[in-house]
Amino acid sequence: MGRTQSNSKTKFLDAALHVIRAKGYEATTVDDICAEAGLTKGSFFHHFESKEELALAAAEHFATMAEGAFAAAPYRQAEDPLDRVLGYVDFRASLMKGELPDFTCLLGMMVQETYETHPEIRQACDRHISAHARTVASDIAEAKKRYAPHAPWEPDSLALHIQAVIHGAFILAKARNGPEVAVECLTHLRRYLETQFTPPQHKRRSAHG
């Protein structure tokens, strides 16, 4: 019984990731989530008191899944911290394919809609986005120490700039209805990051040209 309940809750969370990224938080209804999950409304309210409670759980679910995916990504094995920083951008670009709801960010989408009307959702999105940025900032800090110790910027600030470009790329992908412009934005981001460090010339090779 416990496993069945856990499986049905996960189905609702996975459904929320897809539907909210496709339709937006405000336009998404509980009926939409139930239809996507293939479960009943009674089952929904067994797990969640409201759509907002689902959104908070979905933000946590999305962040946990993303953390696992990035931790297992090949670039994490690079010995050089700069290779990890640039590899992170390459990895993000490699994910930008297929349907828009499959690769855009649930957190960024929800916070744009709810930052004023649903403070708990805004705070959850900020918490998860900031936590992810801190993992990137850790590699940036190592790369800065090795290759740009006197640079005037701080690793945390540069990590947030990277997130700003990525989330802006998602918006452009939606505007153009395809991932190509988003990948191009990350190619520019990679080139910019290379200018902030002074590694040996052989490390200045972009996987995206």
- Return the ∠ at Cα 13 (arms to 72 and 103), rounded to 5°: 50
pLDDT band for 206, please (50, 70, 90 cuts). very low
Rounded to whole angstroms, the Cα distance separating 208 from 129 reads 25
Of residues 170, 207, 182, the one with CA closest to residue 75: 207
Structure token pair of residue 70: 């990035």
- pLDDT band of residue 4 (cuts 50, 70, 90) is low
Tell me the mean pLDDT in the region 183-208. Answer: 79
Give the whole-number percent of the chain exceeding pLDDT 90.
Answer: 91
CA distance 83 to 68: 20
Q: What is the mean pLDDT of residues 45-62?
A: 97
Identify the band that residue 209 occupies on the pLDDT scale cut at 50, 70 and 90. very low
Whole-number pLDDT of residue 201: 55
Question: Taking 60 as the threshold, does the pLDDT of residue 137 lie above it?
Answer: yes
What counts of helices (H) and strands (E) characterise the chain? 10, 0
Residue 141 pLDDT greater than 60, yes or no: yes
For residue 14, which of 37, 45, 40, 42 has the smallest C-alpha distance? 37
CATH of 50-203, one of 3.40.50.300, 1.10.8.60, 1.10.357.10, 3.40.220.10: 1.10.357.10
Please write down the long-range contacts of 83-86, taking CB distance under 8 Å and 24 or more positions apart. Answer: 83/203, 84/139, 84/143, 85/136, 85/139, 85/140, 85/143, 85/193, 86/190, 86/193, 86/194, 86/206
Is residue 207 very low, low, confident or very high in pLDDT (cuts 50, 70, 90)?
very low
Sequence spans of domains, the chain: 50-203
Nearest-10 Cα torsion for 121, 123, 129, 133 = 180
Q: What is the pLDDT of residue 6?
A: 74
- Whole-angstrom Cα distance, residue 198 to residue 201? 8
Taking only the tens place, the pLDDT of each residue in 143-183 is 999 999 999 999 999 999 999 999 999 999 999 999 999 99
Interval 98-129: pLDDT, tens: 999 999 999 999 999 999 999 999 999 999 99
In this predicted structure, what is the pLDDT of residue 186? 98
